[in-house]
Amino acid sequence: GFKCGIVGLPNVGKSTLFNALTKAGIKAANFPFCTIQPNTGVVPMPDPRLDKLAEIVKPQRIVPTTMEFVDIAGLVKGASQGEGLGNQFLNHIRTTEAIGHVVRCFTNDNIIHVAGKIDPAEDIAVINTELALSDLEVCERAINRVQKLTKSGDNHAKLELSALKKCLLQLSNAGMLRTLNLSNDEKQAIDYLSFLTIKPMMYITNVNENSFDNNPYVEQVRAIAAAEESIVVTICAAVESDIAKLKTEARNTFMAGIDFVEPSLTSVIRAGYKLLNLQTYFTVGVKELRAWTISVGTTALQASGKIHNDFRKGFIRAQTISFEDFLFYKGELGAKEAGKIRSEGKHYVVNDGDVMNFMFNV
């Protein structure tokens, strides 16, 4: 699955956001929710297209795609030097595909800010410095190791070394690796090192309930994000948490029937999706209607392997209907009569929203 690590300084609203995220997951009975570890929440990706497909197909079960959020609390100044449980936290981030950095942009005199004042730019610098220092250490160690290999004329080692030297220079100049221009070969050569600052990053600006617009703190974060190719989503964690609580209570009391405004929490999940360049395809059956997550550019063959490796091994072709056609012709039969089912081979690049039916040999 796709994992997003949540980081941020103490008292910025990480736990509040995380609790809201994971509570929101329990909301709909149809949505499978599970907590793998106390600090991990699997959150369904809200997708209105699933509801539209369900109206036509009336499936017994609807399975949305999910994104996994991991609460990586405890990343503080000095973490890369092993302060606190620093290095352990940094290693947690290493296993995630993306990073969500919660930045305090809300004012509240009762809640102490670790640095004594609200200063998003400084907070971001603290966290990014820790990430970069950790990468720097990994990079230097790798260079020492790889340098020896190049002496024996290892060409792959030469490629890796040249990539690592570019990384070293970038990190020494306090740059993030994600903005470094590396060739695909170079990227692949250093992929195994799981650098932190190369991961896609979103800043989650946590604001006061009434200051979503024209918030100077958020503007500050936007400027930083633009320079380092990150994205920004704005939330009010406190309100999200209230909404999430309300839902749980409402569920117990009324069971169904109350409509809530879609929480801005959803924007965090959507942003994670966008950040990772992900899209969705659907499989449609009476038993189960299901959304699957794939990277943009995934072929039919690769997509089939998401469901089952046997699909990939025995792949013959994929019967494909676009989401729009499926809707317009009210299902597979209608689409078929209208000649809107396409037979696609293994190299077909799956489109967002495709309804796929894989034909395969057993």
Q: Which of 14, 23, 199, 247 is the binder for ligand GDP (CB under 6 A)?
A: 14
User: Smaller CB distance to ligand GDP: residue 11 or 144?
Assistant: 11
Looking at the chain, which runs of residues are DSSP E strands? 3-7, 40-44, 61-63, 66-71, 98-104, 201-206, 231-235, 278-284, 288-295, 315-321, 342-344, 355-360
DSSP state of 261: P
In the complex, minimum distance from the CB of residue 116 to ligand GDP, in angstroms, rounded to a whole number = 15
Q: Which of 208, 302, 319, 357 is the binder for ligand GDP (CB under 6 A)?
A: 208
**Does 23 interact with ligand GDP (rule: CB under 6 A)?**
no
**Does 106 interact with ligand GDP (rule: CB under 6 A)?**
yes
At 5 the three-state DSSP class reads strand
Contact positions with ligand GDP (CB under 6 A) in 133-172 = none
Angle subtended at Cα 160 by Cα 157 and Cα 166, rounded to the nearest 5 degrees: 140
Q: Which of 66, 80, 206, 215 is the binder for ligand GDP (CB under 6 A)?
A: 206
Neighbours of 73 (CB within 10 A): 17
User: Smaller CB distance to ligand GDP: residue 232 or 291?
Assistant: 232
- Give the range of 11-19, 43-51, 144-152, 272-280 binding ligand GDP by CB under 6 A: 11-19
**Does 20 interact with ligand GDP (rule: CB under 6 A)?**
no
Query: Whole-angstrom Cα distance, residue 339 to residue 341?
Result: 6
Contacts of 229 (CB under 8 A, 6+ apart): 176, 178, 179
User: Smaller CB distance to ligand GDP: residue 16 or 170?
Assistant: 16
**Does 320 interact with ligand GDP (rule: CB under 6 A)?**
no
In the complex, minimum distance from the CB of residue 16 to ligand GDP, in angstroms, rounded to a whole number = 3
At 235 the three-state DSSP class reads strand
Q: Which of 35, 81, 95, 108 is the binder for ligand GDP (CB under 6 A)?
A: 108
- Residue type (1 letter), 131: L
In the complex, minimum distance from the CB of residue 11 to ligand GDP, in angstroms, rounded to a whole number = 5
Q: Is 184 exposed, middle or buried (0-12, 13-18, 19+ CB in 10 A)?
A: exposed
Q: Is 151 exposed, middle or buried (0-12, 13-18, 19+ CB in 10 A)?
A: exposed
Query: Whole-angstrom Cα distance, residue 169 to residue 199?
Result: 18
Question: Locate tokens 């932190």: which residue?
Answer: 196
Q: Which of 5, 8, 44, 263 is the binder for ligand GDP (CB under 6 A)?
A: 8
In the complex, minimum distance from the CB of residue 240 to ligand GDP, in angstroms, rounded to a whole number = 8
In the complex, minimum distance from the CB of residue 75 to ligand GDP, in angstroms, rounded to a whole number = 10
Q: Which of 1, 11, 172, 345 is the binder for ligand GDP (CB under 6 A)?
A: 11
**Does 312 interact with ligand GDP (rule: CB under 6 A)?**
no
**Does 333 interact with ligand GDP (rule: CB under 6 A)?**
no
Contact positions with ligand GDP (CB under 6 A) in 218-237 = 236-237
Contacts of 62 (CB under 8 A, 6+ apart): 30, 31, 50, 54, 288, 289, 290
**Does 243 interact with ligand GDP (rule: CB under 6 A)?**
no
Q: Give the length of the chain.
A: 362
- Using Cβ positions, the residue closest to ligand GDP within the complex turns out to be 13
Binders of ligand GDP: how many residues, by CB under 6 A? 17
Known binding-site residue numbers for ATP = 11-16
Site residues (CB under 6 A) for ligand GDP? 8, 10-16, 73, 106, 108, 111, 206, 208, 236-238
